[in-house]
Amino acid sequence: MKKGKTRIFLNNLYAVKTVWYISKSRVIHTALSSLSGFGEWIFMSVFFLRYVINAIENEAPFLDILFFIGICFAVFFILSVYECYLQSVIYPYTDSKIYCKLYSKLYAKARNVELRCYEDADFYNKYTMALDGSSQKMTNSVNFFFQVVFGVIAAAAAFWSMFSIDPYSVLFVISPIVGNFIFGGLMNKIWGGRYTDSVKNNRIAGYVNRVLHLAEYAKEIRYSNIHGLLMKRYGDAVEGNRRVADKYAKKAIAFTWAQNVTTFALVFEGIMIYAAYRTIVSKTMGLAELAIMFTAMSASSWILIGVFNNLTESIKNGQFLEYFRTFMEYKEKIPEDQEGIIPETIRSIEFKNVSFEYIKNEPVINNLSFKIEGNKVCALAGHNGAGKSTVIKLLFRLYDPTEGEILANGINIKEYNLKAYRKQFSAAFQDYRVMAMSVRDNVLMGEKFDNPDEIAESALKRAGIWDKVNELPKGLDTVMTKEFDGEGQVFSGGEQQKLAVARAFARNASVRVFDEPSSALDPIAEYELYKGIMRESEGHITLFVSHRLSSVKDADEVFMLENGALIQRGSHKELMEIKGRYREMFTKQAQNYLADETYEEVKV
């Protein structure tokens, strides 16, 4: 067996170990259930029948036979009660426990991998498949494992019974072996390939499904023709899955037919013809032996079929679990739990010859160098696509530079404990997200404070959104969605942006970063927001990103970026005195705003 196939098969043992770690009782009860099930089957098919026929032939007392049957009934009744207990109590309880623990591990791992992984379609596909019913696949693996182990033992017991009657009868097991092992293996490849080829189409269909029922998309769907485009994408995904089905259809039909014939038809018809010949023609087998051999053959065949079906399913399951295992064993390049130096208050930030590319040979940042020292207010300015937001991502170590290094307090940021390093920053991101939680939780974002309500209220006041929140019936407890709470609220774009800014104000960090914090605000609200940011800058390094140069006028220093390179730096006044890109861009924006092409800033 090739190494890849061996690993796929061993993935089921990996699953058994994983479930054992989470819930030992689930593994133990599954083993006992499989053992009792096969034990009951073999006992009834072989030993029970043999005892009854022999007792009748030997004219044993009726009460003895009745007593034996009564004892068997009592034992099987107890086993059936136990099985009902498993299905009604043990399995539902352990399913919930396994689901919770398993997905907690998956989500923890998802949080720990670097941001680049989410922009890698192949990696994201594997993550999606890892999430796809992982807990059920894990418990299925436990069931398959014990079904195979005890199935083999039960089949051996049935074969021994057959062999004791007629050594040649065991030859009939060759047919189901061929049917299940060979054709079942081929079918397993088909199902695995079909699943893998359908993942992208299923993701697209799932996306359309989400968009069509989420309130945030409702307006666009109703006032535009986007619904038709969405349905086209959905139809293309469905058509793609149809093509995938067609791709495997002919082989699937042929292998399924071959598997059914070799697994069922040949074995049962063959043993019946053979037993009839020995009983009727050669007269070398009595009716009692015929009954025992036929039931033993029937039991062993079905058990063997079950064993190989479970082997096939376990291999198929192992292919699915490979995505889970690969994802969990992925070695993060920027692990969130990275240990290192615990940073002190950050007083300086330096980019030294930093270059970066999302896609190989397509640089976004080019040999960028600058240094910020002391409690300064600095701005990154430039056109959209100049690399401003990428600088922030690099500073937060969401990515690492392709070349060069970033220093905080003169130390490469890779040397720091990552979580402790990031705690030195508070931020309002350009692509912020409002969570379906309370206003308080949306501001504090899980941070622990002795006085959370006071901290949240203060931050909301400084961001200019407290009056709005205070008017709400539930105040800080208002949920930021109507999806789960009829009394929830949906803020406007500008109000949501102020809520995101409040997050930065709530966190007592040595560096505050504002990435396009006013893009959804009107000019007056923008002016008030930047006044608030300037007030909050005392005692911190403040760095904000903006393509609106009117908002950077009061910054201590402006870094003008273009195509990922630093082309100018200085205060607003200094840059306006130079006839360069900053002055040109500022003047054009002012002309557009004032509708006055003769505008020229008055020198102070």
- Of residues 2 and 411, which shows the higher confidence score? 411
Band of pLDDT at residue 19, cut at 50, 70 and 90: very high
Give CA–CA dist 83/34, Å, rounded.
10
Residue 130 has pLDDT above 50, yes or no: yes
Query: How much is the average pLDDT of 397-420?
Result: 92
- Of residues 162 and 410, which shows the higher confidence score? 410
Q: What is the pLDDT of residues 192-240, one digit of tens each?
A: 788 788 888 888 888 888 788 776 677 677 767 788 888 888 899 999 9
Give CA–CA dist 49/41, Å, rounded.
11
Residue 358 has pLDDT above 90, yes or no: no
Domain residue spans of the chain: 3-166+285-328, 338-424+509-523+534-571, 434-506
Q: What is the pLDDT of residues 33-67, one digit of tens each?
A: 999 988 888 888 777 877 887 788 788 888 888 99
CATH 3.40.50.300 holds for 434-506: yes
First to last CA, the chain: 81
What is the maximum span of the chain, computed from C-alpha positions, in angstroms? 123
Q: What is the pLDDT of residues 142-181, one digit of tens each?
A: 998 999 889 888 888 877 777 777 777 667 766 766 776 7
DSSP 164-221: HH-GGGGGGGHHHHIIIIIIHHHHHHHHHHHHHHHHHHHHHHHHHHHHHH-GGGHHHH
Q: Which pairs count as long-range contacts for 53-58, CB under 8 Å and 24+ apart, including other chains?
A: 53/288, 53/291, 53/292, 54/288, 57/288
Query: How much is the average pLDDT of 129-133?
Result: 76
Neighbours of 90 (CB within 10 A): 18
DSSP alpha helices (H): ranges in 43-133? 49-57, 62-85, 91-112, 121-131
Give CA–CA dist 171/396, Å, rounded.
68
Give CA–CA dist 478/85, Å, rounded.
43
Residue 2 has pLDDT above 70, yes or no: no
CATH of 338-424+509-523+534-571, one of 3.30.1490.20, 3.40.50.300, 3.30.1180.20, 3.30.70.990: 3.40.50.300
Q: Which residue has the tokens 């791709």?
A: 247
DSSP alpha helices (H): ranges in 277-387? 287-328
Say yes or no: do domains 338-424+509-523+534-571 and 434-506 share a fold: yes
Neighbours of 195 (CB within 10 A): 17
Which class for 138: exposed (0-12), middle (13-18), buried (19 or more C-beta within 10 A)? buried
Record the pTM.
0.66
The per-residue pLDDT for 74 is: 94
Residue 312 has pLDDT above 80, yes or no: no
Amino acid present at 100? C
Q: What percent of the chain has pLDDT over 90?
A: 20
- As given in the structure block, the two tokens for residue 496 are 């949501």
